[in-house]
Copies of this chain bind each other. A is one copy, B any other.
Amino acid sequence: MKYTCKTKQNEEHLSNTVKFLKAVSDENRLKIICFLNAGERCVCEIVDFLGLSQNLVSHHLKVLRKQNVLKTRKDGAKVFYSIYDGQVKDNIKFFSSLILKS
C-alpha cells in the first residue's frame, strides 16, 4: 500500500504523524523518552533527572501524553509515566515508510 499524499485518509494520517513528530522533536522531551526507555518513572524522578522545574516537566509530559507517546499509571500521590510502545512503533513505522523507499 503506497502512500499517495492524495486521499483524505492519508491527509489525516500525515497530520497525525506531524503531531507525533512535533511532540518528540524537543531536546527535553527526547531526554525524557531516553530516560523512560529503561522503564516507568514518576514525575519527581524525571524532574530530578532533567534538573528542570516541576511545572515545566509537567508541561512536556502533557505534550507527550497527548500524542500517546507516553502513558500514565497513578499510584497514590505519584503518577508513573512510561513509553506507549505500540503507538510509538506504529508512528515510527508510518513515518519511516513516508520518507524511505520501500
B5 touches A98 (CB 8 A): no
Residues 12-70 of A at the B interface (beta carbon under 8 Å): 14-15, 17-18, 21-22, 24-27, 30-31, 33-35, 37, 69
Contacts of A26 in B (CB 8 A): 18
Which residues of chain A have a CB within 8 Å of any CB of chain B? 3, 5, 14-15, 17-18, 21-22, 24-27, 30-31, 33-35, 37, 69, 83, 85, 88-89, 92, 95-96, 98-101
Number of copies of this protein chain within its complex:
2
Question: Shortest beta-carbon distance, A79 to chain B, in Å?
Answer: 20
- Among B21, B34, B99, B100, which residue has its beta carbon within 8 angstroms of that of A25? B21
Q: Which residue of B lies closest to A21 (CB)?
A: B25
Complex formed: what's the CA distance from A28 to B101 in Å?
19
Could you pull out 21 A-B pairs where Cβ atoms are within 8 angstroms?
A3-B34, A5-B31, A14-B27, A14-B30, A18-B25, A18-B26, A18-B30, A21-B21, A21-B24, A21-B25, A21-B30, A22-B25, A30-B98, A34-B98, A37-B99, A37-B100, A83-B99, A83-B100, A89-B100, A92-B99, A92-B100
